[in-house]
């Protein structure tokens, strides 16, 4: 009698989520506040919807709301006669703080989770050798990561690093696939020149992914009439910048140079955030009037968007890795209708040659 085939266990996955714990100095009393719950109230105006999402009873939710009010000495939620429920000024402030924190920390927490996963799975039986991907954080890469996580026994280790550092990782053997994004048009040549030292056309190939629209994120209705880079230099406009090592910051600097504009004259140029979503949340919360980033982040936070340039986002790899079985499955996911459909739903994104392998010179021209 034949023995039953042994089933290889799947990789262990880790998720890390922030918890908001408030503590009073006078009494030492502490209180946990559910930001997702408050955000659902803000979005729908219905306690019943928020309770359903939190998988709690309506009564229990109101008990929590009353406990929070007693702790803060002020209500977070208020009923409106005939119009449902809304957040108070304090509730709004907490939600926006939560949005900014989530946007800022999500890539870092996902990186930490991936590191812990790798350490744990190294000592467990694994059927495949890991293929390491280093890429800058973005909506398309984040969606691709979601699809990869659904695949059983797929040996992919995806970490978020900056645009240039991903290519450095590839050159030094710290990863097998590196993310890269470059502007279309006349800025392309200068952007490629900055990264050229890490590119080896004879040994490397490019894998297409998406295009994305980059521009100015402004408040709904664009009350200050910000439609160009020059407008950022007006004293009444408050800006929030991306971190100096990000590819988006480098693109922004190149655009300023092209127009002969000096960044230090922008009010708020020294104020930085680390993701597209984080700068969008900063503007949406009223702490700044404008930022530069992807259209999808602006729409996520109900901001208006002024398109300025289109970018190509793709991956660079050594050509021999294309024969790896995990990489073949990765390419199949990138070429799938599901990935293409997901990109079509992201404002400003479009699947372009997704999963198509090209020569470096052809792809970067």
* Percent residues over pLDDT 70 in the chain: 94
* Model pLDDT for residues 267-297, shown as the tens digit of each residue: 999 999 989 999 999 999 899 999 999 999 9
Say which range, 27-31, 202-206, 345-349, has the weakest mean pLDDT.
Answer: 27-31
Q: What angle do CA 281, 339, 176 make, to 5 degrees?
A: 85
Q: 209-236: per-residue pLDDT in tens?
A: 999 999 999 999 999 999 999 999 999 9
- Of 53, 79, 96, the residue that ends a domain is 96
Reported as a single tens digit per residue, the pLDDT across 99-119 is: 888 777 777 777 777 777 767
Residue 236 lies in a domain: yes
pLDDT for 222 equals 97
134, 26: one domain: no
In this structure, the answer to whether residues 59 and 192 fall within a common structural domain is no
Domain boundary among 96, 113, 145: 96
Give the tens place of pLDDT for each residue, 52-74: 888 889 899 889 999 999 999 99
Q: In this structure, are residues 15 and 116 in contact, taking their beta carbons and an 8 Å threshold?
A: no
Specify whether 194 is located in the same domain as 278.
yes
CATH of the domain at 41: 1.10.10.10
Better pLDDT: 205 or 34: 205
Does 230 map to a domain? yes
Of 73, 96, 119, the domain-final residue: 96
Q: Is 166 helix (H, G, I), strand (E, B) or coil?
A: helix
- Check whether residue 264 and residue 224 sit in a common domain: yes
pLDDT at 4: 46
* Any domain includes 176: yes
- Looking at the domain assignment, is residue 106 inside a domain? no
Q: Is 282 helix (H, G, I), strand (E, B) or coil?
A: helix
Q: What is the pLDDT of residue 15?
A: 79
Domain presence at residue 105: no
Report the alpha-carbon distance of residue 281 to residue 347 in Å, rounded: 16
pLDDT at 128 over 70: no
Tell me what the mean pLDDT of segment 39-49 comes to: 87
Residue 101 lies in a domain: no
Mean pLDDT, range 301-306, rounded to an integer: 96
Domain of 213, CATH number, reads: 3.40.190.290
pLDDT band for position 7 (cuts 50, 70, 90): very low
Phi, psi torsion values for 349, nearest 5 degrees: -105, 150
Answer yes or no: do 92 and 131 share one domain: no
Q: Kindly state the average pLDDT of the residues 307-334.
A: 96
Same domain as 333, residue 216 = yes
Reported pTM: 0.79
Considering the domain architecture, whether residues 73 and 147 belong to the same structural domain is answered as no
The verdict on 60 and 174 lying in the same domain is no
Domain assignment of residue 197, yes or no: yes
Q: What integer pLDDT is reported at residue 117 of this predicted model?
A: 73
Q: Tell me, yes or no, whether 86 and 201 share the same domain.
A: no
Determine the pLDDT at residue 215: 98
Please state, as a whole number, how many other Cβ atoms lie within 10 Å of the Cβ of residue 162: 22
Q: Fill in the DSSP letter of residue 245.
A: T
How far apart CA 116 and CA 108 sit, in angstroms, is 12
Q: What angle do CA 199, 274, 186 make, to 5 degrees?
A: 45
Does 5 score more than 50 pLDDT? Answer: no
Predicted confidence (pLDDT) per residue in 181-207, tens digit: 999 999 999 999 988 899 999 999 999
Domain count, the chain: 2
Pairing, β 177-183 against β 156-160: unpaired
- Do both 220 and 157 map to the same domain? yes
Comparing C-alpha atoms, which of 213, 201, 208, 143 is closest to residue 179? 208
Give me the domain span that covers residue 90: 20-96
Residues 38 and 80 in one domain: yes
Helix (H) or strand (E) holding 247, with range, is helix 247-258
The pLDDT of residue 107 is 76
Average pLDDT, the chain: 89
Does the residue 15 lie in any domain? no
Residues 66 and 204 in one domain: no
Which pLDDT does position 103 carry in this prediction?
78
Q: What is the pLDDT of residue 19?
A: 82
**Average of pLDDT values for 328-345?**
96
Residue 292 in tokens: 């530069």
């Amino acid at each position: 009698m034949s023995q039953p085939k042994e089933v290889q266990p799947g990789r262990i996955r880790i998720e890390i989520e922030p918890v908001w714990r408030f503590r009073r100095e006078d009494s030492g009393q502490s209180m946990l506040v559910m930001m997702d719950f408050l955000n659902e109230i803000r979005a729908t105006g219905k306690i019943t919807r928020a309770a359903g999402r939190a998988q709690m009873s309506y009564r229990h939710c109101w008990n929590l709301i009353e406990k929070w009010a007693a702790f803060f000495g002020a209500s977070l939620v208020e009923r409106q006669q005939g119009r449902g429920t809304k957040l108070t000024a304090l509730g709004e402030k907490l939600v926006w703080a939560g949005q900014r924190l989530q946007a800022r920390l999500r890539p870092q927490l996902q990186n930490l989770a991936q590191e812990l996963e790798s350490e744990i799975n190294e000592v467990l039986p694994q059927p495949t050798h890991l293929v390491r991907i280093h890429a800058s954080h973005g909506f398309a890469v984040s969606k691709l990561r979601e699809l990869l996580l659904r695949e059983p026994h797929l040996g992919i280790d995806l970490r978020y690093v900056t645009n240039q550092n991903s290519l450095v990782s590839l050159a030094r053997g710290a990863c097998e696939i590196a993310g890269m994004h470059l502007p279309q048009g006349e800025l392309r040549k200068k952007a490629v020149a900055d990264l050229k030292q890490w590119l080896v056309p004879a040994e490397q190939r490019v894998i297409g992914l998406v295009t994305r629209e980059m521009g100015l994120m402004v408040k709904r209705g664009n009350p200050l009439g910000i439609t160009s880079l020059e407008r950022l230099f007006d004293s009444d406009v408050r800006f929030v910048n991306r971190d100096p090592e990000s590819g988006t910051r480098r693109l922004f600097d190149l655009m300023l140079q092209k127009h002969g504009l000096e960044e230090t004259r922008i009010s708020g140029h020294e104020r930085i955030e680390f993701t597209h979503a984080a700068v969008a949340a900063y503007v949406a919360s009223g702490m700044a009037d404008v930022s530069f980033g992807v259209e999808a982040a602006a729409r996520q936070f109900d901001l208006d968007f002024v398109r300025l340039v289109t970018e190509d986002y793709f991956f660079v790899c050594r050509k021999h890795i294309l024969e790896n079985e995990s990489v073949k499955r990765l390419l199949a996911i990138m070429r799938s209708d599901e990935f293409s459909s997901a990109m079509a739903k992201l404002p400003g994104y479009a699947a372009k040659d997704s999963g198509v392998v090209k020569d470096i010179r052809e792809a970067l021209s």
